[in-house]
């Protein structure tokens, strides 16, 4: 717990450095409307990261979330072409994501396969299905209500034009609070930690380990489907190559937030801080016109560093005690 708090303080310090650095070098960085619009760039990924945190704390991982977003968007496009209304389109998106997650969970729990191997395979499967179904084409012409969900502001709904906060970001905050309560204040959260720390002992204590793992994969798949609903509404089209690389972004948010890749430790507060740090950092780089490939290299480096540093922090205290 102390190591977790230390890492959270480090993230706060990093956030202050990012804000101070870009505000001093980039004009308009701290403009409220610029910051508000910058949340469009990471809110959908952040929603996936919230549930991904639960999966990783439970000692598993899902590499297929970005491909799930793409396949789900294709399913939504097919529903739209069949004449479905916005409500049905959203339901198709959620159901498609849940089914993708259910397949992952079934293969992992039924056949005791490593989650990283299974989800690498389904990554290729889901992305390949999207490409086979849609080819090089695109689906457009989604209902205006779906576009409003992906591009609208809460101030427009409340009649407060100055409150230009995107729906997506408000939805993210609501889910963050709900998942934070679930993880840290309920028996379900305690069992997720127990499963990640020691699945064998958890089984002997009466926890249905495989059931929890299966439901977590369904949940992350459904959240990927919901992220696909928001993304499809925001960009107004479906293409098989959407959300490329999002799995790296979501996992980086979680690991940078101090969640152990081995499972059993971490906090949602750390994940939220990491999301804000990465969001502000990438926004600043975009304002400086830094190429996307450079940002990808930086994200990869951050992922490696964020796995190493918490291990060093956790190992520091035992060494000091031993020396004493």
Query: Average pLDDT of each block of 10 consecutive residues along the chain (324 residues)?
Result: 78 94 93 95 97 98 98 98 97 98 98 97 98 95 96 92 93 98 97 97 97 98 98 96 94 93 94 96 92 85 82 63 46
Residue 100's pLDDT is what?
98
Residue 314's pLDDT is what?
66
Question: If you count them, how many residues does the chain have?
Answer: 324
Residue 6's pLDDT is what?
81
How wide is the angle at C-alpha 318 spanned by C-alphas 317 and 320, nearest 5°? 65
DSSP run (H or E) holding 237? strand 237-238
Residue 306's pLDDT is what?
81
Residue 162's pLDDT is what?
87
Q: What is the b/e burial string over 254-276, where b = at least 16 CB atoms within 10 angstroms of the residue's CB?
A: bbbbbbbbebbbbbbbbbbbbbb
Residue 209's pLDDT is what?
98
- d(C-alpha 129, C-alpha 124), whole Å: 8
Tokens 């990283």: give the residue.
116
Residue 299's pLDDT is what?
82
pTM score? 0.94
**Long-range CB pairs of 161-164, under 8 A, 24+ apart, other chains included:** 164/32, 164/33, 164/36, 164/37
Helices (H), the chain: 2-25, 32-38, 43-57, 65-81, 86-110, 115-134, 144-151, 154-158, 167-185, 187-197, 199-204, 209-235, 246-256, 268-287, 292-323
Residue 318's pLDDT is what?
53
Residues 6+ apart with CB under 8 A from 48: 65, 69, 220, 223, 224, 227, 246, 250
Distance of CA 112 to the CA centre of its chain: 25
- d(C-alpha 280, C-alpha 31), whole Å: 12
Task: Output the CA–CA distances (angstroms, integers) from residue 253 to 11, 153, 203, 318, in the order listed.
Answer: 12, 25, 30, 27
Residue 311's pLDDT is what?
73
Judge contact between 125 and 65, C-beta under 8 A.
Answer: no
- d(C-alpha 146, C-alpha 231), whole Å: 10
């Amino acid at each position: 717990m102390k190591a977790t708090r230390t890492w959270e303080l480090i993230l706060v310090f990093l956030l202050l450095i990012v804000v101070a650095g870009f505000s001093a070098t980039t004009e308009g960085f701290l403009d409220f409307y610029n910051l508000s619009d910058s949340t469009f760039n990471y809110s959908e990924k952040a929603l996936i990261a919230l549930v991904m945190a639960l999966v990783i704390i439970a000692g598993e991982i899902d590499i297929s979330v970005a491909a799930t977003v793409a396949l789900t968007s294709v399913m939504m496009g097919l529903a739209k072409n069949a004449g479905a209304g916005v409500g049905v389109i959203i339901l198709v998106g959620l159901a498609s994501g849940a089914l993708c997650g259910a397949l992952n969970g079934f293969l992992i729990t039924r056949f005791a396969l490593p989650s990283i191997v299974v989800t690498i395979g389904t990554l290729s499967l889901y992305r390949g299905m999207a490409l086979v179904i849609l080819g090089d084409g695109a689906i457009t012409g989604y209902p205006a209500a779906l576009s409003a969900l992906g591009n609208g502001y809460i101030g427009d709904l409340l009649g407060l034009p100055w409150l230009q906060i995107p729906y997506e970001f408000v939805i993210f905050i609501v889910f963050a609070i709900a998942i934070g309560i679930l993880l840290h204040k309920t028996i379900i959260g305690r069992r997720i930690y127990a499963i990640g720390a020691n699945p064998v002992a958890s089984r002997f204590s009466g926890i249905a380990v495989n059931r929890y793992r299966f439901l977590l994969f369904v949940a992350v798949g459904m959240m990927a489907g919901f992220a696909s609903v928001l993304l499809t509404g925001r960009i107004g089209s479906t293409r098989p190559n959407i959300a490329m690389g999002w799995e790296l972004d979501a996992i980086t948010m979680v690991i940078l937030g101090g969640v152990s890749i081995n499972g059993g430790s971490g906090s949602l507060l750390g994940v939220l801080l990491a999301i804000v740090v990465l969001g502000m950092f990438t926004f600043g780089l975009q304002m400086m016109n830094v190429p996307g490939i450079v940002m990808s290299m930086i994200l990869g480096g951050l992922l490696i560093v964020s796995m190493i540093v918490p291990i060093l922090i956790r190992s520091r205290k035992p060494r000091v005690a031993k020396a004493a």
